[in-house]
């Protein structure tokens, strides 16, 4: 059994492109998580609108959830976004 390459989205062929998609990233409150997510999305998605960002702190106040909406045009763009989000040390979880 082979190990899948890191940051490749499984079942990517079922994505109907182009489309709008919402990503949620989570990390510790101490980091500028919204700015990190916005920088990544702005770099990889033409026309990214930062006003789509919403944030929600955890009930204990230690973590922050950031939701962004992007317009996806290619499968390579999907893989690049997941790879960039996963590579950012501030981001602990992306879905």
82 in a structural domain: yes
Confidence of residue 4 (pLDDT cuts 50, 70, 90): very low
**Number of domains making up the chain:** 1
Overall size of the chain counted in residues: 95
12 in a structural domain: no
In the prediction, which pLDDT does 7 show? 55
What percent of the chain is modeled with pLDDT above 70?
89
Confidence of residue 13 (pLDDT cuts 50, 70, 90): confident
Please name the residue ranges forming H helices in 14-74.
33-44
87 in a structural domain: yes
16 in a structural domain: no
Query: Which residues, including other chains, have CB under 8 Å from residue 14's CB and lie 6 or more apart?
Result: none
21 in a structural domain: no
- Beta-strand pair 54-57/93-94: unpaired
> Residue 44: is the preceding peptide bond cis (ω within 30°)?
no
pTM tops 0.75: yes
84 in a structural domain: yes
7 in a structural domain: no
Domain range spanning residue 42?
29-94
């Amino acid at each position: 059994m082979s190990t899948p390459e890191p940051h490749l989205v499984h079942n990517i062929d079922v994505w109907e492109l182009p489309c709008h998609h919402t990503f949620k990233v989570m990390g510790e409150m101490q980091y500028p998580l919204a700015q990190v997510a916005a920088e990544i999305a702005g770099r990889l998605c033409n026309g990214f609108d930062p006003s789509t960002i919403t944030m929600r702190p955890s009930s204990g106040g230690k973590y922050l959830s950031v939701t962004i909406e992007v317009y996806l045009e290619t499968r390579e763009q999907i893989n690049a976004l997941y790879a960039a989000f996963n590579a950012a040390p501030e981001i602990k979880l992306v879905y």
